[in-house]
Structure 1
Amino acid sequence: MTRFGYTLMTEQSGPKELVGYAVEAERRGFDFEVSSDHYFPWLSSMGHAPNAWTMLGAVAHATSRVELMTYVTCPIRRYHPAVVAQQAATLQILSDGRFTLGLGSGENLNEHVVGQGWPPVAQRQDMFEEALTIIRELLTGELVTWEGKHFRVDSARLWDLPDGGLELAAAVSGDASIERFAPLADHLITTEPEADLIEKWGTERRKAKLDAQTRTIGQIPICWDPDEDAAVARAHDLFRWFGLGWSVNADLPTTAGFAGASQFVKPEDVAEAIPCGPDLDAIVEAVKPFWEAGFTDIALVQIGDSAQQAFLDQVAEPLLEKLRSAAR
């Protein structure tokens, strides 16, 4: 059965608000919750970027059932992989085994802040592979010393490890990244509803003599509002960067850059790509390609903080009912 999740989008809400939304999303019946991990919002109008790990620690204590995940943390610049491993192990303990560590190769927008530059994509992929390997090694609880091309680890050991272990999910975008990361991660993350990606993931897992039946986790933005025009305006104001493509989104360093790159995107362009307004059936139709492609987990992003509580109070339960009925 397809599982449906709720996105704690750190770029558009403050930390206390996010914890409150997490509690309400669990109460309304979402199966899991994913959190972005940003230092900057995409656009200045979004207005937020609290620390995801601090917030998720609070969420772990404020909730009891819903599964949690980073979607995604980049372990190659802003965080050293040894630090990510420690954070993840601690959060898994605090959440009583409900956490999955979602990882990706990151965006310049967030990673440039530590002043170490932003490497080209081939180097980022090399760094990501090395980081995944280090994190896996540390999660064994053994003493780890590592001298790699990009990272060094000196006699590191995680002293607080979760009893049930910790699973990793890796963000991929095509065949090359799947070939590299399917053997190193437990689950797939991608934002395109393409069955070929899932099939390729399973093939590479089988080649590595690993379980091919893993979670495949997607995400889709929606902009519910009782007023369709208000929904389109909000989606355009906050999410017009969404259609720029990953080659752009990964490399622009500032909110000003995203504002400039998206300045000619029209409200009707956004409305064509993102379901906007009160029609829940239209939202279901927009999500449908994901389960048809074979995704096991689909996280919804409700755009904008201003309508977030109303979405949870008025729409979450009937929308989940419609989604689950349609996905059977």
Structure 2
Amino acid sequence: MPAYGYFLATEEFAPAELLEQARMAEQAGFEELWISDHYHPWNAAQGQSPFVWSVLGALAEAVSLPLGTAVTCPTVRTHPAVIAQAAATTAVMTGGRFRLGVGSGEALNEHIVGGPWPPAHVRLEMLEEAVQVMRNLFTGEEVNHRGTHYTVENARLYTVPDEPVPVDISGFGPKATALAARVGDGFITMSPDQSLVERYRKGGGGGKPVSGGLKVAYDQDRDAAARRANKLWGNQLLPGEMGQILPSPRHFEQLSPLITDEAAASSFPCGDDPDEHVAALRAFADAGFDHVYVGQIGPDQRGFFDFYRTKVLPRLRGDA
């Protein structure tokens, strides 16, 4: 049976709200926490985007649950040597409860420092080299590195955890999945795709953890839930590479008319039918996932946590 965690959305909530959600998640029986790492929200309606490492520092004291980023891009906006220091410090502060989830990023967040946005195959090359740099630094030894994409000179992390920070790699297609299988400590993907899980395990992932997540819109009014899901997270339903190449929230907003409330209702669990929510999370378990994270869309966080504590999590765990 997978472990069920809560997915904190930095794009949608301010730091104090994220901390309160984390506390409520722990009280409701969620076992783990994920948190997104963005510079921009996907659209103005989401309205937030705090610096994830500041929030993680507060979370380390606020809750006792394992924490992870889903996901950090350690390649363009921030040099991997800096991400390594942030991750190592977070792991120390949490007593080893932290996993670093990484991915190849989106132009939305990464292009802000200028320069071209690399094509996908180059982004994957950069990600692999970045993971190598970070792993070398996690040893606590001095690192000198001159690679294709990164240079590190006389760098040493003096504050490191007892064990190296696990690095989970995100992937949505065969090339990124192969990279995760080859060099990752775990695999992250956001749909219950059994074929990707099998590809990861056969490609070298073996028994390493596979994690996934989804958004839901709990509400007693299902139509209102679908409207909210579309307004705030309809970007997830855009086709192809749009999510990776569009450079600003307004560009996502320009495409929002392409997504209907009906499409959102068929893509996100909406409303207060426990069967719909349970089925969506069980799909990940059936596909072979070890960890499943769920995030509530919109402001009714307390209603969501009460609903999951009493009607969803017990069924997923076989208690009801």
In structure 2, what is the Cα distance between the partners aligned to 1:98 and 1:21?
Answer: 18
Structure 1 residue 259: deviation in Å?
A: 0.9
Contact 2:13 2:48 in 1 (8 A): yes
1:220-240 CA deviation, whole Å, 9 max, x = no partner? 111001121221121111011
In structure 2, what is the Cα distance between the partners aligned to 1:42 and 1:315?
Answer: 26
1:76-120 CA deviation, whole Å, 9 max, x = no partner? 111100001100000001111110000000011111111233111
- Are positions 1:60 and 2:89 aligned together? no
Q: Which residue matches 2:114?
A: 115
Counterparts in 2 of 1:191 and 1:45: CA distance versus 1, 3 Å: same
- Are positions 1:175 and 2:168 aligned together? no
Aligned residues: 320
Q: Which residue matches 1:27?
A: 27
Contact 2:135 2:164 in 1 (8 A): no
Contact 1:193 1:293 in 2 (8 A): yes
Q: Unaligned stretches of 5+ in structure 2?
A: none
- Are positions 1:48 and 2:48 aligned together? yes
Out of 273, 280, 287, the residue aligned to residue 286 of structure 1 is 280
Amino acid of the structure 2 residue aligned with 1:14 = A
Runs of 4+ in 1 over 6 A off after TM superposition: none
- Aligned to 1:197, the other structure's residue is in SS state helix
Contact 1:169 1:187 in 2 (8 A): yes
Structure 1 residue 42: deviation in Å?
A: 0.7
Structure 1 residue 245: deviation in Å?
A: 3.4
Amino acid of the structure 2 residue aligned with 1:185 = G
Amino acid of the structure 1 residue aligned with 2:215 = P
Contact 2:7 2:295 in 1 (8 A): yes
- Are positions 1:308 and 2:310 aligned together? no
- Aligned to 1:177, the other structure's residue is in SS state helix
1:171-196 CA deviation, whole Å, 9 max, x = no partner? 01222222233221110000121122
- Are positions 1:229 and 2:228 aligned together? no
Q: TM-score normalized by structure 2?
A: 0.96
After TM superposition, the structure 1 = structure 2 runs for residues 204-243 of structure 1, keeping only pairs within 5 Å, are 204-205=203-204, 212-243=206-237
Structure 1 residue 165: deviation in Å?
A: 2.7
Structure 1 residue 204: deviation in Å?
A: 2.1
Structure 1 residue 164: deviation in Å?
A: 2.9
Contact 1:5 1:300 in 2 (8 A): yes
Amino acid of the structure 2 residue aligned with 1:198 = V
After TM superposition, the structure 1 = structure 2 runs for residues 1-328 of structure 1, keeping only pairs within 5 Å, are 1-64=1-64, 66-205=65-204, 212-245=206-239, 247-304=241-298, 306-325=299-318
Amino acid of the structure 1 residue aligned with 2:15 = P
- Aligned to 1:128, the other structure's residue is in SS state helix
In structure 1, what is the Cα distance between the partners aligned to 2:280 and 2:66?
Answer: 24
Q: Which residue matches 1:209?
A: none
User: After the TM superposition, which of the residue ranges 285-294 and 4-13 deviates more from structure 2?
Assistant: 285-294
Amino acid of the structure 2 residue aligned with 1:299 = Y
Amino acid of the structure 1 residue aligned with 2:30 = F
1:11-46 CA deviation, whole Å, 9 max, x = no partner? 110001101111111111111100000111111001
Counterparts in 2 of 1:286 and 1:314: CA distance versus 1, 3 Å: closer
In structure 1, what is the Cα distance between the partners aligned to 2:248 and 2:217?
Answer: 24
- Aligned to 2:245, the other structure's residue is in SS state coil
Structure 1 residue 246: deviation in Å?
A: 5.1
- Aligned to 1:160, the other structure's residue is in SS state coil
